[in-house]
Amino acid sequence: MRGETASLRFIKNRDVLARSELHGDVLEVLEAGLRAADPASSVRRVLARRGDEVCVLGECVSAARGVHVVGFGKAGLGMSLGCEDALGDLIAGGVVIVPSLSSQRRPERIEVVEGEHPIPGEKTLRASRRLVEYLGESLKEGDVVIVLISGGGSALFEIPRPPLALEDVAVTTDLLMKAGADIVELNTVRKHLSLVKGGGLLRFLERADRVFSLIISDVVGDPVEFIASGPTEADTTTYRDAYEVLRRRGAWDALPERVRGLVLDGLSGRVPETPKPGDPLLGRVRNVIVASNMISLGEMERRAGELGYRTAVLTSMMVGEAREVGRFLGGVARHVAKYKAPGERAMVLLGGETTVTVRGRGRGGRNQELCVGFSLASRGLSNAVLASIGSDGIDGNSPAAGGICDGMLVDEALGMGLDPHSYLSDNDTYGLLSRLGRAIVTGPTGTNVNDLVVLAVK
């Protein structure tokens, strides 16, 4: 395909999907977004060594006695490799918690241990204790610490606040997730049940002279205090906020008694609050977003320009019911096709995270539902293509990352005896798109910066 300047390392079935030049360009722009979110290269972009100094975005500090690296999240392995690439033997050691120990290359100077996601279990507790134990044994006055934080960190790194047991935290998390709590609500509660969330990790880093937290954001809008529950950031929420979330989501009466007791003790002041803005603990830490939805969209915009498209980033905060967002974008495609100058190439880029109301029993996810919704609304347009993927490579309960659709999909499906409306009603969009050769397959990407959407109109 024309204009390719980088190897395509993510989309495995590109040859099947790139049925036209327009389809191929859309896929190439998606690849640019995924490359921008690559954990190792994201860390290397901001981290460097200068002799015995470690430098983060131009701020250099002495690390003659070595740097300690700790971390947790889905991107932990890649981030730790990027850190080791940048700093080499400046790294004295460390512990990073990941969701699974794959066969991929591991860092030589940093221990990698396994936790659980999305509900914390005994592996998470053992791994978290190992990380804190490492800090207690190895961290000395004046040392430098790098904390690697990415999506999934809330479940992978947890030490419950006494008198809670890990089971209490797991039950509370499960109740809130089933009740439809969003990530802000969920992490507001998590921060107040934990010793390490909501700035709590900083209490274990008090001997450090400087702390750099390098963060891959999986939360819309990049609020640092809610990414992995903000372990190195001030917490602006309170026990009152946590109580109101639990009440509002109908979880209060089903909570373990110890959780209700802790929250009530927090309300009365018998349990101390999490660190708040202005706390001296925060004076030595610098939180840096190294990859995010907006950073990926910026790279996608640059690549689209190289391919000859007039491009606009519509939003990095896309929310709403997936199929309805897709229908809206179908209307956008019709508008562009009608009113843009003949021959003009246009791309609209979006990011964020939509939702799906599950009513059927099929396989699929929000990106594939968005895709099919778009096709229904753009039926008959021969010059419009949309692709939508989860940047982690996982879309709902399907093996796909998302899908690529166009205005001709509906008629193609009907010609094969497939009714897109029926598949959408059964939440079986993977069943439809896989049969049409439209499901995008990447496998797990090792990162997560929410969803990426490309709409191209020629």
Helices 239-248/166-178 angle, 10° precision:
50
Task: Supply angle C-alpha 150, 151, 156, rounded to 5.
Answer: 90
Composition of the chain by helix, strand, coil, percent to 5? 40, 20, 40
Burial of 121 (0-12, 13-18, 19+ CB in 10 A): middle
Question: Of 36, 101, 154, nearest to 391 (Cα)?
Answer: 36
**Per-residue model confidence (pLDDT) at position 90:** 96
Question: Of 29, 53, 49, 77, nearest to 311 (Cα)?
Answer: 29
For residue 288, the 8-state DSSP code is E
How many CB atoms sit inside 10 A of residue 323's CB?
24
Question: Of 391, 396, 394, 404, nearest to 434 (Cα)?
Answer: 404
Pairing, β 346-352 against β 310-318: parallel
- Contact (Cβ atoms closer than 8 angstroms) between residue 68 and residue 131: no
Q: 8 vs 272, 389, 436, CA distance in Å?
A: 50, 15, 22
What is the separation of C-alpha 274 from the centre of its chain, rounded to a whole number of angstroms? 24
**Per-residue model confidence (pLDDT) at position 102:** 73
**Per-residue model confidence (pLDDT) at position 85:** 97
- Contact (Cβ atoms closer than 8 angstroms) between residue 144 and residue 185: no
Where do the domains of the chain lie, and which CATH numbers do they carry?
Answer: 14-37+294-457 (3.40.1480.10), 39-159+194-237+274-290 (3.40.50.10180)
Q: 349 vs 32, 109, 166, 191, 383, CA distance in Å?
A: 12, 39, 41, 33, 17
- Contact (Cβ atoms closer than 8 angstroms) between residue 169 and residue 193: yes
Query: According to the 3-state scheme, what is the secondary structure of 187-201?
Result: HHHHHCCECCCCCHH
H/E segment holding residue 95:
strand 91-98
Question: Of 394, 400, 405, 392, nearest to 456 (Cα)?
Answer: 405
**Which pLDDT tens digit goes with each residue over 43-96?**
999 999 999 999 999 999 999 888 999 999 999 999 999 999 999 999 999 999
Question: Of 204, 295, 194, nearest to 235 (Cα)?
Answer: 194
Burial of 359 (0-12, 13-18, 19+ CB in 10 A): exposed
**Per-residue model confidence (pLDDT) at position 7:** 52
How many CB atoms sit inside 10 A of residue 284's CB?
17
Partnered with residue 68 across adjacent β-strands are 93, 145
- Contact (Cβ atoms closer than 8 angstroms) between residue 216 and residue 180: no
Residue pLDDT tens, the chain, 458 long:
444 444 547 999 999 999 999 999 999 999 999 999 999 999 999 999 999 999 999 999 999 888 999 999 999 999 999 999 999 999 999 999 999 887 678 999 999 999 998 889 999 999 999 999 999 999 999 999 999 999 999 999 999 999 999 999 999 999 999 898 888 999 999 999 999 999 999 999 999 999 999 999 999 999 999 999 999 999 999 999 999 999 999 999 999 999 999 999 999 999 999 999 999 999 999 999 999 999 999 999 999 999 999 999 999 999 999 999 999 999 999 999 999 878 889 999 999 999 998 899 999 999 999 999 999 999 999 999 999 999 999 999 999 999 999 999 999 999 999 999 999 999 999 999 999 999 999 999 999 999 999 999 99
Pairing, β 310-318 against β 439-440: unpaired
**Per-residue model confidence (pLDDT) at position 1:** 42
Spatial distance between the Cα atoms of 48 and 58, rounded to a whole number of angstroms: 9
- Contact (Cβ atoms closer than 8 angstroms) between residue 234 and residue 273: no
**Per-residue model confidence (pLDDT) at position 103:** 67
Query: According to the 3-state scheme, what is the secondary structure of 146-199?
Result: EEEECCCHHHHCCCECCCCCHHHHHHHHHHHHHCCCCHHHHHHHHHCCECCCCC
